[in-house]
C-alpha cells in the first residue's frame, strides 16, 4: 500500500499579494495569474524556478468580479514567446488595453442588457476563431473573432438565478481525430463541457448551421 502519508502536492511560495477567485492561463513553464476579486495585480509564476514576477495591473475601472481570461489563439503568430490574452481588457506587452479591430476601433463584447458577472468563456471552433461565452442567467453566446460580431445567442437547457463560478471547458475529444472526421464529413462540430453545482452538460456547436445541441 505504501506510505499513507505520501502526498501528491508540493508546497509553493506564497503569492506576493493574496488573491481570491483569480483567473489563470498557462504559457510554457509560466502560470499567468490575472488579478482576483477586487485585486488588480497580475503575476507570472514560473513552475520550474518556483518564482513569482509582477507583470502589470488591470486599469482602475476594470470590474474584477466573476470575470474571465482566455488565451487568444493566433495561427499566424510565429513568435512563440508572445501570447495575447482576452479579458475585460486586452493585453499588449504587459499592459491591459482596449480590444480593437483592424481599423483600430474599440470592440465591445456584450450587449446593453447582458450581465457578465460570473462569466466564463473559451476559444474554439474549426480555426480557433470563435469565442463561446456562458453567463447569467442561463445564456450562451458565440462571438466571431474574425468579424468582431456576435453570430449566435441561445439559452442553456436549465435555469438558475445565476451560474456561480461554473466550469466551462473544451471537450478533450476536440483533438486530431475529431479534426480528421470534420474533414471527411465536411461538418464543423465543436464540443464543450459545462458543470454547475449538480448539473453537467455536453454542448455541441454546429458551425455549418450555427446551432447548439445540449446533452
User: pLDDT, tens digit, for every residue of 83-99?
Assistant: 788 886 444 445 565 67
- State percent of the chain over pLDDT 90: 13
> Which residues form the domain of 169?
63-214
Give the integer Cα–Cα distance in Å for 88 and 69.
8
Q: What is the pLDDT of residues 138-185, one digit of tens each?
A: 889 999 988 888 999 999 887 655 556 788 888 865 554 554 454 444
Mean pLDDT of the chain: 78
Q: pTM for the full model? A: 0.62
Q: Give the total number of structural domains in the chain.
A: 1
In a domain, 41, yes or no: no
Spatial distance between the Cα atoms of 58 and 175, rounded to a whole number of angstroms: 34
Kindly give, in sequence order, each residue whose CB lies less than 8 Å from that of residue 111, ignoring residues fewer than 6 positions away. 150
Residue 123 lies in a domain: yes
Query: Lowest-confidence range among 55-59, 69-73, 159-163?
Result: 159-163
| Residue 23 placed within a domain | no
pLDDT of amino acid 173: 58
> Is 18 inside any structural domain?
no
Q: Evaluate whether residue 198 is within a structural domain.
A: yes
Cβ-proximal residues to 81 (8 Å cutoff; 6+ apart), any chain: none
* pLDDT at 109 > cutoff 80: no
Measure CA of the first residue to CA of the last residue in the chain; give whole Å: 40
Backbone angles phi, psi at 182, to 5 degrees: -65, -35
149-155 and 189-196 as β-strands: parallel, antiparallel, unpaired? unpaired
Nearby residues of 24 by Cβ (< 8 Å), 6 or more positions away: 31, 32, 33, 34, 69
Amino acid at each position: 500500500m505504501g506510505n499513507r502519508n505520501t502526498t501528491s502536492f508540493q508546497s509553493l511560495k506564497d503569492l506576493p499579494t493574496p488573491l481570491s477567485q483569480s483567473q489563470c492561463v498557462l504559457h510554457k513553464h509560466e502560470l499567468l495569474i490575472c488579478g482576483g476579486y477586487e485585486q488588480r495585480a497580475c503575476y507570472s509564476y514560473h513552475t520550474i524556478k518556483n518564482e513569482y514576477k509582477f507583470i502589470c495591473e488591470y486599469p482602475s475601472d476594470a470590474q474584477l468580479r466573476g470575470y474571465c481570461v482566455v488565451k487568444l489563439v493566433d495561427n499566424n503568430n510565429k513568435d512563440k514567446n508572445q501570447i495575447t490574452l482576452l479579458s475585460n481588457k486586452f493585453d499588449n506587452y504587459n499592459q491591459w488595453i482596449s480590444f480593437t479591430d483592424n481599423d483600430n476601433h474599440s470592440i465591445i463584447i456584450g450587449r446593453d442588457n447582458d450581465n457578465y458577472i460570473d462569466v466564463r468563456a473559451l476559444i474554439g471552433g474549426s480555426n480557433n476563431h470563435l469565442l463561446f461565452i456562458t453567463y447569467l442567467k442561463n445564456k450562451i453566446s458565440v462571438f466571431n473573432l474574425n468579424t468582431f460580431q456576435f453570430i449566435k445567442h441561445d439559452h442553456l437547457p436549465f435555469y438558475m438565478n445565476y451560474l456561480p463560478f461554473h466550469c466551462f471547458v473544451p471537450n478533450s475529444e476536440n483533438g486530431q481525430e475529431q479534426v480528421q472526421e470534420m474533414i471527411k464529413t465536411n461538418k464543423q462540430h465543436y464540443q464543450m463541457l459545462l458543470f454547475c453545482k449538480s448539473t453537467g452538460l455536453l454542448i455541441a456547436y454546429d458551425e455549418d448551421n450555427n446551432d447548439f445541441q445540449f446533452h
